[in-house]
Amino acid sequence: MNDQKATSLREPLFHLTKRASISSAVAWLIRLAAVIIGLAVSGLIAFLLIEKLRLNPKEGIAKFYRCFYEGIWTEGKPFWENRSIWKFLKDTAMLLCIALAVTPAFKMKFWNTGAEGQTLMGILGAITVAVWLVPQARNASMSVPYWTLQLLMFGAAVLASTVWALIPAIFKAVWNTNETLFTLMMNYVAMNLVNMMLFIWRPKDFTLPSMNFDKLSFQFENLKSFVNNYLVIVLAVLALTFILFIYLKYTKHGYEISVVGESVRTAQYSGISVKKVIIRTMIVSGILCGVAGFLFASGLNKTIKPDDVGGNGFTAILVSWLAKFNPFGMIVTSALITVLNLGSAEISSDFDVSSAFPNVLVGIILFFVIGCEFFINYKIVFRKRSNRVKGASIK
Amino acid sequence: MNIWLSYLIDSVAFGVTFIYGSTGEILTEKAGHLNLGIPGIMCMGGAGGCLVLNTIGKISMAMVEKGMSPLPGFVFVIAGILGAILMSMLMGLIYSFLTVTLRANQNVTGLVLTTFGTGLMKVIMSKLDHTIYLEGPKEFYRWPFHMRNDPLLYLGVLFYLSIFIALAASYVLYKTKVGLHLRAIGESPSTADAVGINVTKYKYLATIIGSAIAGLGGFYYIMDYSGSREAYLSIEAYGWMAIALVIFALWRPHFTIIGSIVFGFLFSFGSQIVNIEGISINLVMTYLLKMLPYICTIIVLIFTSIRNKRENQPPQSLGLPYFREDR
């Protein structure tokens, strides 16, 4: 009777406490474990969904996991001519670039879900300049100097993205309008705007809403074509990563951002103008989105479609958050997500499944990665043995 | 039928997709969770319902071959709805486990859920046979107007259910103790916890029930309003609209009924306007009109934040994880 009462009063089997600190090595180990478990589970789900895999399980599973490697490396090709690895580097760089753009805002807990639209506006800005300027010059039988055009496109891209980022920021700063929903809606306004512009620009004999401008790409004659475009992009984004790291860590602006992120009150008491910080930080975000938009417009696509950013604006949020807003960590996380994307695209072509299959795999693995953050932030403390038992063992 | 009237009824029917989606999202948001996974949940709701219909459609066909009579219509309707509800509850469970128990970031979790849900739906739907899950059962869902060929056709079983659910959700939220507790959690979970409300339980239930309701939206769109085999490709976009409608309806489920008609009206304005005689507009305008629902939502968002009236604000703790030991 007495015993029963004692058990009912015992503390619960375990409780949670926030970890004061965790070594980054352990944190990355936990994340690695999550990715591995995620891969295992996604293999299981694939087994249920893909008939080809069930027919020949042993070889199928081996081939399934091999696809993640084949997605980023074509066998038997040297590095500089290996199309897969360069596609991987380019995709990673573009994702990283947009992730860099959302990071400063996230660090001050401004939930910008509008990177998709902001980048798209950057593309639109750059393309608008090209569409407007090139024919005009041609009519006047002149040609626009290459670097002048690039510079103008860059300026327009940055301007358009910044405006798109600035609108929600001003409302947030002045009236505390919910920025998550505001920026989310701005994405769709941007997409419809692109649709409208495509309609306005359509050639008379043209039905598809997409167009091509061959003359506008980066041209570097001494290296092979697809490598050099991509190399410039990768180097540019790496430089941006470095700059953003310094901006966030070693400048007064970066310090103010992290104070606002920690506590708006503290910021106010210490004389930081929160409004100014919000607006300034979103300008930085907008500029970076503009750079990404310019790279898309001028370096890669030379054209525009409403789905050009392809969900990267949303994935960038994951990249940034998984890396705890550390620009160098984001290199790792964006590479991880790109590997998953390319690998599962390879799977869907090898096993004849719907082209939407990559989303399923990436989703499953990311569930585990998101879930594992819990074990990085919190510690599970199990109930200590009751005193009586302890006392007995001492005796 | 008068062309304006038929357009209006079409808007009402189109809006049902949004009523489900945003009523579900409102319940979740009232518990303090911004579920950006709603588009994915709506997709999976549709996929779940169709998966069940595909299975029982085959059973029914086998029964006919054996000389028995086919399964009655109401079996199809109920089984499909249950399939949609179960599948979307499962999605809601994933979301609430990650955000409530594991305290993951809600925006990030929601976005992944949408990626996952839309992908899995496309994989599932590509394996189903539309002659089985869609062509036969479609009629049962469009009862009682399934014989007509004007927009009244779409006002089927799920339409009445949506109105009922929206009104019931409003009643529960604003007139019952359970609703009061739920709203208290959305405003300040620590206060609610101190009063003795089981915060975790409420958050789980609100999210899962909300997901079940949202999932029906996707299912309705496939089976009733669109009734075509390509319908599932556009559900994701309507999911985002449903999230927009939550703001437009000022977090009140019964307002979503009116809001959804406005959204349905604005959304199909571009394609409907060409049917109406006496009105000719520049085609560029139709693209501008497509932006209207989103712009209206932004305006409502700005307007409510400027007026700063207490009861029209998003729940105070929206988007923030709750950990009892935090200060």
Cβ pair B182, B206 in contact under 8 A? yes
Q: List CB contacts (< 8 A) between A355 and chain B.
A: 122
What does the domain layout of chain A look like in residue ranges? 83-342
- pLDDT over 60 (residue A219): no
Average pLDDT of the residues of chain A:
81
Average pLDDT of the residues of chain B:
87
How many domains, chain B? 1
Which tens digit of pLDDT belongs to each residue from B267-306?
A: 877 677 766 666 666 777 777 888 888 888 899 888 888 8
Does the distance separating the beta carbons of B325 and A16 come in below 8 Å?
yes
Q: Specify the range with the lowest mean pLDDT, choosing from A31-45, A49-63, A87-101, B267-281.
A: B267-281
Mean pLDDT, residues A206-231 taken together: 47
Which tens digit of pLDDT belongs to each residue from A118-176?
A: 999 999 998 888 778 777 777 777 777 777 778 888 999 999 999 999 999 999 999 88
Which tens digit of pLDDT belongs to each residue from B21-68?
A: 999 999 999 999 989 999 999 999 999 999 999 999 888 888 888 888
Q: Is residue B121 part of a domain?
A: yes
Interface of A with B in 208-267 (CB under 8 A): none
Q: Please report which confidence band the pLDDT of residue B86 belongs to, taking 50, 70 and 90 as the band edges.
A: very high
Mean pLDDT, residues A349-359 taken together: 82
Mean pLDDT, residues A365-373 taken together: 90
Give the angle subtended at the CA of A110 by the CAs of A247 and A191, to the nearest 5°: 100
Q: How far from each other are the two terminal CA atoms of chain A, in whole angstroms?
A: 25
A370 vs B112, B120, B295: nearest CB = B112
Asked if A57 has any chain B CB less than 8 Å from its own CB, the reply is: no
Q: How far from each other are the two terminal CA atoms of chain B, in whole angstroms?
A: 62
Q: Please state, in angstroms and as integers, the Cα–Cα distance from residue A343 to each residue in A68, A82, A251, A334, A362, following that order.
A: 4, 16, 39, 14, 10
Say how far apart CA B145 and CA B93 lie, in whole Å: 36
Q: Please report which confidence band the pLDDT of residue A205 belongs to, taking 50, 70 and 90 as the band edges.
A: low
Does the distance separating the beta carbons of A186 and B113 come in below 8 Å?
no
Cβ pair A227, A81 in contact under 8 A? yes
- pLDDT over 60 (residue A226): no
Q: Residue A130: which residues within 8 A CB-CB, separation 6 or more?
A: A149, A153, A213, A216, A297
Tell me which residue of B211, B230, B232 sits closest to B220, measured CA to CA.
B232
- pLDDT over 90 (residue A21): no
Residue type, A59: E
CA-nearest residue to B248 within chain A is A181
Give the β-pairing of A14-18 and A378-382: antiparallel
Mean pLDDT, residues B219-235 taken together: 86
- Interior/surface letters B148-165, b for 16+ CB within 10 angstroms, e for the rest: eeebbbbbbbbbebbeeb
Asked if A362 has any chain B CB less than 8 Å from its own CB, the reply is: yes
Does the distance separating the beta carbons of B122 and A356 come in below 8 Å?
yes
Strand partners, A382: A14
In this prediction, residue B268 carries a pLDDT of: 79
Asked if A41 has any chain B CB less than 8 Å from its own CB, the reply is: no
Does the distance separating the beta carbons of A16 and B319 come in below 8 Å?
no
Mean pLDDT, residues B10-25 taken together: 92
Q: List CB contacts (< 8 A) between A200 and chain B.
A: 284
Asked if B118 has any chain A CB less than 8 Å from its own CB, the reply is: yes
Rounded percentage of chain A residues whose pLDDT exceeds 70? 85
Q: For residue B102, which phi and psi values (nearest 5 degrees)?
A: -95, 0
- pLDDT over 70 (residue A218): no
Asked if B296 has any chain A CB less than 8 Å from its own CB, the reply is: no
Strand partners, A16: A380
Asked if B111 has any chain A CB less than 8 Å from its own CB, the reply is: yes
Which tens digit of pLDDT belongs to each residue from A276-319?
A: 999 999 999 999 999 999 888 876 666 677 777 778 888 898 88
In this prediction, residue B204 carries a pLDDT of: 95
CATH class of A83-342: mainly alpha
Mean pLDDT, residues A77-85 taken together: 78
Which tens digit of pLDDT belongs to each residue from A249-282?
A: 999 999 999 999 888 888 889 888 899 999 999 9
Tell me which residue of A242, A238, A244, A236 sits closest to A107, measured CA to CA.
A244
In this prediction, residue B19 carries a pLDDT of: 94
In this prediction, residue A395 carries a pLDDT of: 39
Residue type, B38: I
In this prediction, residue B91 carries a pLDDT of: 95
Say how far apart CA B105 and CA A370 lie, in whole Å: 8
Q: Which domain holds residue B39?
A: 3-305
In this prediction, residue B279 carries a pLDDT of: 67
Does the distance separating the beta carbons of A192 and B115 come in below 8 Å?
no
Interface of B with A in 139-158 (CB under 8 A): none
A364 vs B116, B284, B325: nearest CB = B116
Q: List CB contacts (< 8 A) between B281 and chain A.
A: none
In this prediction, residue B182 carries a pLDDT of: 94
Dihedral sign, Cα of residue A49, residue A52, residue A53, residue A54: positive
Q: List CB contacts (< 8 A) between A195 and chain B.
A: 287, 290
Q: What is the DSSP string of A59-109?
A: HHHHHHHHHHHHTT--TT--GGG-HHHHHHHHHHHHHHHHHHHHHHHHHTT
Asked if B277 has any chain A CB less than 8 Å from its own CB, the reply is: no
CA-nearest residue to B321 within chain A is A374
Does the distance separating the beta carbons of B301 and A177 come in below 8 Å?
yes
In this prediction, residue A215 carries a pLDDT of: 39
Mean pLDDT, residues A222-228 taken together: 43
Residue type, A46: A
Say how far apart CA B327 and CA B319 lie, in whole Å: 17
Say how far apart CA A93 and CA A288 lie, in whole Å: 13
The continuous run of DSSP H or E covering A278 comes out as helix A274-294
Q: List CB contacts (< 8 A) between B290 and chain A.
A: 192, 195
A359 vs B119, B244, B290: nearest CB = B119
Q: Is residue B279 part of a domain?
A: yes
Q: Which residue has the higher pLDDT, B192 or A348?
A: B192
Rg (CA), chain B: 20
- Number of A to B CB contacts under 8 A, please give it: 147
CA-nearest residue to B315 within chain A is A178
Q: List CB contacts (< 8 A) between A53 and chain B.
A: none
Residue type, A180: T
Asked if B247 has any chain A CB less than 8 Å from its own CB, the reply is: yes
Q: Which residue has the higher pLDDT, B306 or B327?
A: B306
Q: List CB contacts (< 8 A) between B115 and chain A.
A: 311, 314, 359, 362-363, 366
Q: List CB contacts (< 8 A) between B287 and chain A.
A: 192-193, 195-196, 199
Mean pLDDT, residues B233-262 taken together: 88
Residue B84 exposed, middle or buried by CB count within 10 Å (0-12, 13-18, 19+): buried
Which tens digit of pLDDT belongs to each residue from B138-188?
A: 888 887 777 777 777 888 889 999 999 999 999 999 999 999 999 999 999
Which tens digit of pLDDT belongs to each residue from B104-147?
A: 888 889 989 998 999 999 989 988 888 888 887 888 888 777 77
Secondary structure percentages of chain A, helix, strand, coil, to 5: 75, 5, 20
- pLDDT over 70 (residue A5): no
- pLDDT over 50 (residue A224): no
Rounded percentage of chain B residues whose pLDDT exceeds 90? 45
Select from B109, B234, B294 the residue whose CB has the most chain A CBs within 10 Å, as the one to mutate to test that interface. Answer: B294
In this prediction, residue A385 carries a pLDDT of: 62
In this prediction, residue A210 carries a pLDDT of: 47
The CB density around residue A340, as the number of other CB atoms within 10 Å, is 24
Cβ pair A108, A358 in contact under 8 A? no
Q: How far is A212 from chain B (nearest CA, A)?
A: 21
Strand partners, A18: A378
The continuous run of DSSP H or E covering B215 comes out as helix B199-220
In this prediction, residue A52 carries a pLDDT of: 75
For residue B304 the two structure tokens come to 């409510």
CA-nearest residue to B298 within chain A is A182
In this prediction, residue A309 carries a pLDDT of: 79
Asked if A50 has any chain B CB less than 8 Å from its own CB, the reply is: no
Say how far apart CA B32 and CA B192 lie, in whole Å: 12
Cβ pair A357, A42 in contact under 8 A? no
Cβ pair B186, B315 in contact under 8 A? yes
Q: Residue B99: which residues within 8 A CB-CB, separation 6 or more?
A: B33, B105, B106, B109, B207, B321
Q: Is residue B104 part of a domain?
A: yes
- pLDDT over 70 (residue B245): yes
CA-nearest residue to B287 within chain A is A196
Say how far apart CA B72 and CA B49 lie, in whole Å: 17
The CB density around residue B51, as the number of other CB atoms within 10 Å, is 21
Q: List CB contacts (< 8 A) between A358 and chain B.
A: 119
Say how far apart CA A288 and CA A100 lie, in whole Å: 7
In this prediction, residue A9 carries a pLDDT of: 58
Rounded percentage of chain B residues whose pLDDT exceeds 70? 96
| CATH number of residue B173's parent domain | 1.10.3470
Q: Is residue B318 part of a domain?
A: no
Q: For residue B35, which phi and psi values (nearest 5 degrees)?
A: -95, 95
Does the distance separating the beta carbons of B123 and A353 come in below 8 Å?
yes
Dihedral sign, Cα of residue B305, residue B309, residue B312, residue B313: positive
Say how far apart CA A341 and CA A95 lie, in whole Å: 12
- pLDDT over 50 (residue A41): yes
Does the distance separating the beta carbons of A358 and B104 come in below 8 Å?
no
Helix A146-175 with A179-201: angle, nearest 10 deg: 150
Report for A5-9, A204-208, A355-359: range of highest mean pLDDT: A355-359
Q: What is the ipTM of this complex?
A: 0.89
- pLDDT over 90 (residue B211): yes
- pLDDT over 50 (residue A221): no
